[in-house]
Chains A and B, each alone.
Chain A
Amino acid sequence: MQALTEAPGYLSQGEQSLYFVHHRAPGSCRAAVVLAGPLGLERAHAYIVWTRWARHLAARGVDALRLDYRGTGESTGRFEDMTLPCWEADLRAGLEYLRRERPGVPVVLHGLRLGALLAARVFQTDKVDGLLLWDPPESGRAHLMEVLRRKVAADNLEGTGGQARSREDYVAELEAGGFMEVEGFPWSRGFWRSAEAYDLALPARDDARPWRAVHLDGRPAERCLAPGHGRSVRAPRPFFWTTSNRLLPELGELFDDGASFAAGVGAVEVSKGASS
């Protein structure tokens, strides 16, 4: 049976409730991480790994806070009212919570897929001590187009979703103000437009805070997105956020790398405090 250090709850976000699960590190806490997860079917497929990742962090002395963006999962709110900046606000609420719960402990943002885009944005504007990105898309629009491609492919293959349409047809419908059902969620024009010009916001060169972008496809170092901050790990395919036959893929290298990064942010903070 799990220890009492793992507890779900709700944070108030205006009229809505933001669902979270706080994985507390037993004993002293070296750092605290807000986990910004993926969206839609990627969330559903990744959930088991994501939960185990949070437990992995907690077991290594790092608090982890998982949350469901408003309009998704256990959080309340209507998906059709949501935009990417709304979900940035959800991450900020998570950061506030961890700062309250763990005063003085360094706080890290960690994003996977769409969550990486959101986390990078919040890292730019907020006082966060570290940033970890797993498989970040190049932009919000590129990510949504990838999800639309999956929808078109699945509908065409299975003969579902009504009359066959292309991605461009769907985009035109969204731009015209219609709602589009994608992976069971109603995308709105507001949601679609919020992803426009939403590029991956990598930290500036003079930003001294630690950050790392991890590619999971095992690409060579020279193809990493952020020289000096990139890391490449070969995760089992298909990736755990897609339809995979493996519930518990071997991700030890990825988990250990991420946990040591988060714990290292805490060590940097401690040494800064000691020298000042």
Chain B
Amino acid sequence: MRELFQLDVKGHRLWGTYHPAAAAKPGRVGFLFLNPGHVPRSGHGGLSARAADRLAAQGFPCFRVDLPGLGDSDGPLPDTTAELYQLVCGGGFVEVAEAIHAELLKRHGLDGLVMGGLCGAATTSLYLADRAPEGVAGVFLFEPEFYLSEQEAANADGETPLEDAEKRTWRSRLPLRRVTSKVFSYWGWMRMLTRENEYARLFRYVPFPRQLLLDWLMDWGRLPAVANVPLVRAWQRVVQRGVPVLVITAEGKLRDVFFDRIHRAAFSDLKVAMLERLRLRGTNHIFTTGGAIDACIGHLSRWAGEHFGQDATPVVAVPQVAELRSAS
């Protein structure tokens, strides 16, 4: 069952969907899903909607809310996905997410909300779990992105972005720049090695394994220069506090590789008993292939039952995944 609701927070009118729990219990925990990037609140392939249906059937009230400018909620948006990415990476939606969180707790008399979702939803949820720990009972992060965009990374290193006019001249002078920028670009190589750009198919014909190159490019002991440091710090504090966290990534893809590096660099001395890390094999960043949506929902449901359910029955996970639980 689904109900629609409206929230007026921080000067925005937001729309959301409420999935009432099958069996209401007082003082319970609910789940809040935010937008995966610029995609509406149902998620790619209906991932968020279907996950919320499943959790509600287990006894958890669930909420999916469109942030300002996204889905059905009105509001300003930048012109490009890259600018939206920067906004999210910088915590641009955290304030409004905090207000949503507080309002939902109040309206439904909940003890706490478990927050998360895919990609941008994971970033905002993690920032919020760090900034306002009261009432954030747990975090589920699907394909979290712990790195900045190329432009931001350049700025963070003190490089001044070229003026627009200068950029245009540069492009017009060097039409081959599109190719050379990939050859000499850290990001170009990372995307190629994780098979996320148009040249990835070339790796079929390259006689050395991608993983060796990746290991060579990566300095596993240090945070990468492109790391979103405030988010990594938030991540460390949240995990250190013992907040239950579920991380699911697409095995071998860009976020998966980065998460591994972040994990090794930032968690060597952290207690991670409440962290569960899963990798889904044979899928993409948005989980729309390889049976990943079913697998993801299955794992979220089981994890919810284990951590937040009292008499809820955990659901058996769908078996096409590689499970790597973190060492406790």
Residues of A within 8 A of B (CB): 1-2, 6, 8-10, 17, 21, 40-41, 44, 47-48, 51, 55, 68, 72-74, 76, 79, 151, 154-162, 181, 183-185, 244-248
Tell me the minimal C-beta distance from A242 to chain B in angstroms. 12
Asked whether A72 lies within 8 Å of B46 as measured between CB atoms, the reply is yes
| Docked complex Cα distance between A242 and B2 (Å) | 29
The verdict on A41 contacting B38 (CB below 8 Å), with A10-B4, A161-B282, A245-B81 known, is no
Bin chain B's interface residue count: 35 or more
Tally the A-B contacts, defined by beta carbons under 8 Å: 112
Which residues of chain B are near A73, meaning CB under 8 Å? 40, 42, 46, 49
| Docked complex Cα distance between A52 and B242 (Å) | 42
Tell me the minimal C-beta distance from B115 to chain A in angstroms. 20
Which residues of chain B are near A10, meaning CB under 8 Å? 2, 4
Chain A, interface SS category: mixed
Asked whether A74 lies within 8 Å of B2 as measured between CB atoms, the reply is yes
Asked whether A245 lies within 8 Å of B77 as measured between CB atoms, the reply is no
5 pairs, A vs B, C-beta closer than 8 Å: A48-B38, A51-B71, A76-B2, A161-B289, A162-B282
Which residues of chain B are near A154, meaning CB under 8 Å? 284, 289
Which residues of chain A are near B15, meaning CB under 8 Å? 8
Which residues of chain B are near A2, meaning CB under 8 Å? 13, 74
Closest to B76 in A: A248
Asked whether A8 lies within 8 Å of B4 as measured between CB atoms, the reply is yes
Q: Which listed residue, A21, A44, A160, touches B290 by the CB 8 Å rule? A: A160
Asked whether A247 lies within 8 Å of B84 as measured between CB atoms, the reply is yes
Tell yes or no: B319 within 8 A of A by CB.
Answer: no
The verdict on A1 contacting B12 (CB below 8 Å), with A44-B39, A245-B82 known, is yes
Asked whether B13 lies within 8 Å of A184 as measured between CB atoms, the reply is no
Asked whether A1 lies within 8 Å of B40 as measured between CB atoms, the reply is no
6 more CB-based (< 8 A) A-B contacts, given A6-B74, A160-B250, A160-B289: A48-B69, A55-B74, A74-B49, A161-B289, A183-B288, A184-B287
Which residues of chain A are near B284, meaning CB under 8 Å? 154, 158, 160
> Of residues 9 to 64 in B, which have CB atoms within 8 Å of A's CB atoms?
11-13, 15, 17, 38-42, 44-47, 49
| Docked complex Cα distance between A6 and B81 (Å) | 25
Asked whether B196 lies within 8 Å of A158 as measured between CB atoms, the reply is yes
Tell me the minimal C-beta distance from A11 to chain B in angstroms. 12
Q: Which listed residue, A159, A246, A247, touches B195 by the CB 8 Å rule? A: A159
The verdict on A160 contacting B282 (CB below 8 Å), with A74-B17, A76-B2, A183-B288 known, is yes
Asked whether B282 lies within 8 Å of A157 as measured between CB atoms, the reply is no
| Docked complex Cα distance between A158 and B194 (Å) | 8
Closest to A183 in B: B288
| Docked complex Cα distance between A158 and B191 (Å) | 10
The verdict on A183 contacting B45 (CB below 8 Å), with A158-B284, A161-B282 known, is yes
Tell yes or no: B325 within 8 A of A by CB.
Answer: no
Asked whether B289 lies within 8 Å of A8 as measured between CB atoms, the reply is no
| Docked complex Cα distance between A157 and B84 (Å) | 26
